Amino acid sequence: MHQFPTFLKSIRLYLTSGDLRSAHHLFEQIPEPDIRTWTLLISAYSQHGFPRESLKLYAAFRSKSTSPDNILLLSVAKACARLCDVIKARGLHGDVIRFGFANDVSVGNALIDMYAKCNSVDGARQVFGTMVVKDVVSWTSMASCYVSSGLLQQGLGILREMLLYGVRPNLMTVSSILPACSDLKSISLGREIHGFVMRHGMEGNVFVSSALVDMYANCSCLKQAHLVFENMSERDVVSWNVILSAFFSNKEFEKGLGLFYAMRDKGVKLDQASWNAILAGCLQNGRSDLMLEMIGHMQDLGFKPNRITITSILSACTSLENIRLGKQIHGYTFRHLFIEDLQATTGLVWMYAKCGDLELSQRVFSMMPRKDTVAWNTMIMAASMHGKGEEALFLFHQMLNSGDKANSATFVSVLSGCSHSKLVDQGLLIFNSMSSVYSVEPDSDHYSCMVDVFSRAGRLKEAYELIRQMPVESTAAAWGALLGACRVYKNVELGKVAAKRLFEIEPENPGNYVLLFNVFVAAKLWEEASVTRKLMRDRGITKKPGCSWIEANNRIYTFVAGDKTNKHTSEICRFLDDMGEKMRLAGYVPNTDFVLQDVDEDEKLELLCNHSEKLAVAFGIMNLNGASVIRVFKNLRICGDCHNSIKFMAKIVGVHIVVRDCLRFHHFKDGHCSCGDFW
């Protein structure tokens, strides 16, 4: 036993240098280690990121029927907290009671923190409720547990109770409770806490000040948030990141961008959160182009994208329809094992779907190791917008069979699929079962989808009656679905009713006037069509110019209707002239009814040839380079004549042409379109 102090000293030396293996080896040579040695080794394993080993040692300690002391119990509580193992946590809690430490304030505080880390509010509440003596750490730990678990009002309630008991909040209390004010947007309480901070000289603490900045920013008090930031005596990268995110989330993009450059100029050591903040800011403010540029700078400085970065980049790829970069990100996620991350893989599913490649979207989805409701909803919506209604229904039933619960977004997705594929009976069955079977009350979006289901199937009276009987206020989406159906099914009277309501709801939307014009044109009511065109002119409403874009040769090419300045225009026109002859021989007849301008027939034919989607498709065919699929994206609804033309082009050239307009994806193949000529 005379060697024991030497053993203990050597173990401490090994642990100080981080050599846990040697320390453990030496520990095993001690015949009967005392509680100090057990505590030393258990604590070291936990601190060095090996909590599981700590708990194994504690189990070995308990097997010797030795009683722990409060110091050892504190070390084990920290290990349970790091491991987030609620079963082990409950076992330790039992030991605390069994060995008479239930009234030890330090141990009680450690147990509350442990249960909070294990996401067990009930466990923390039980410990807190049985503590005879509570100090400021006890109250703070319980408040923090509530806030981190999303029980914000309960967290604020603990603060009020704490003050009633005369316990003064400390820096940790304030830092813990301010996020609750931030998330609840409780500016009045936030200001009270700010006053408390000023009265008690806490404003110099960087964590408190950063929390105040975040609170004011979330409450849309950006000026106050900036003032707190400017008055901070000390700033770390976290406080810079907080104000940076505050500018972006409050639509002050230029100020946020300026602040980011100021951070670099002042030598602030940027971290991954800084880059994620600027990337998210670019994305939130529609600057996907700058976002991709920033990603390059980030990588040049040695920062690798993490899960948050991946999600932001995928969102940018989706908004830009940049499938090439999306595929690179897919490869990166696979190489760095982010493929296990649910948010990243769901982002990949949506990116491929929005970029026009449903097959790759399906492939990623089928390989996902687990799926949640958001993932299922994403895949259902992907199938729906690509006109795969039967598949959307199949996915819906698969989702229910997997045990995941359908929510409001699920029903919007599946009903959209039913509308695009004219699955009326199936759609009606699902719509009628929402409330009774799935406890989801239909809202205006669901009613609009159901109106669309009836409308596309030609059941216009039922669609109109559903709008009239809606328990919620009818929306532009519902009336727009009805008006679009009136164009296809040539129901002029209902078309007038729908258009009149739309002109009241959104009088500045040119699409509604164009749709009504087309209703009259389809019915050969030229005078009414002319009146509609005059109404647009009198109200100063102009049809937005059609714009289409396509990726070819690793570049994005954009085409605007009637644009003669494009350097590819003359070449494309020659191609379309040649293609037009082949199309006419195959039975194509141009439909000049889709030209709104009051010009002669020859000019109308020329205008049709210059529609943006036709130019983009032609350019894609000219630059196939062995590809079998062309993907074109358009800002407006595809023109009826262009829709017909592209069907002929796809058949003549023998390629699969995908066009995404403002409503859905059209898949043209072998002279047919996936929409069944209804869009």
The 10s digit of each residue's pLDDT in 311-357 is: 888 887 888 788 888 898 898 888 877 778 899 999 999 999 999 99
| Average pLDDT of every residue of the chain | 89
- Residues near 157 by Cβ (< 8 Å), separated by ≥ 6? 146
Range from 1-10, 367-376, 550-559 carrying the lowest mean pLDDT: 1-10
d(CA 642, CA 603): 16
Q: Tell me, what's the pLDDT at 603?
A: 42
Split at pLDDT 50, 70, 90, the class of 543 is confident
Local confidence band at 146 (pLDDT 50, 70, 90 cut-offs): very high
Instruction: Give me the pLDDT at residue 21, please.
Output: 79
Residue with tokens 């309960």: 154
- Name residues whose C-beta falls within 8 Å of residue 339's C-beta, 6 or more positions apart in sequence: 333, 345, 367
The strand pairing partners of 633, in sequence order, are: 549, 660
Q: Residue 534, class by beta-carbon neighbours within 10 Å (0-12 exposed, 13-18 middle, 19+ buried)?
A: exposed
Q: Which two tokens stand for residue 606?
A: 């020329």
pLDDT at 181 over 50: yes
pLDDT at 372: 95
Least confident of 24-33, 233-242, 374-383: 24-33
pLDDT for 5 equals 60
Q: What is the pLDDT of residue 607?
A: 45
Does residue 551 have a pLDDT over 60? yes
Residue range 97-111: average pLDDT? 93
Least confident span in 373-382, 407-416, 620-629:
620-629
Average pLDDT over every residue of 10-32 = 73
Q: What average pLDDT does the segment 98-122 reach?
A: 93
CA distance readout (Å), 165 to 138, 155, 192: 13, 16, 18
Q: Which two tokens stand for residue 284?
A: 């939130």
**Location of each CATH 1.25.40 domain in the chain:** 443-539
**57 pLDDT exceeds 70?**
yes
pLDDT at 590: 75
| pLDDT confidence of residue 553 | 83
Would you say residue 125 has pLDDT above 90? yes
Given this model, what pLDDT does residue 623 score?
A: 94
Least confident of 77-81, 280-284, 515-519: 280-284
Contacts of residue 629, Cβ cutoff 8 Å, sequence gap at least 6 = 357, 655, 656, 657, 658
Helices assigned H by DSSP within 219-357: 222-230, 237-249, 253-265, 272-284, 288-300, 307-320, 323-335, 342-354
Rounded Cα gap, residues 21 and 27, in angstroms = 10
Is the model's pLDDT at 511 over the cut of 80? yes
What's the fold here for domain 443-539? 1.25.40
Average pLDDT over residues 378-402: 96
**Burial readout 70-103 (b: 16 or more C-beta within 10 A, e: otherwise):** bebbbbbbbbbbbbebbebbebbbebbeeeebbe
pLDDT at 320: 78
Q: How far apart are CA 452 and CA 412, in angstroms?
A: 11
Percentage of the chain modeled with pLDDT above 70: 95
Higher pLDDT, 148 or 28: 148
Return d(Cα 656, Cα 650) in angstroms, integer: 6
Average pLDDT on 622-632 reads: 92
pLDDT for the residue 133: 92
Closest CA to 654 of 634, 678, 627: 627
Residue 6 has pLDDT above 50, yes or no: yes
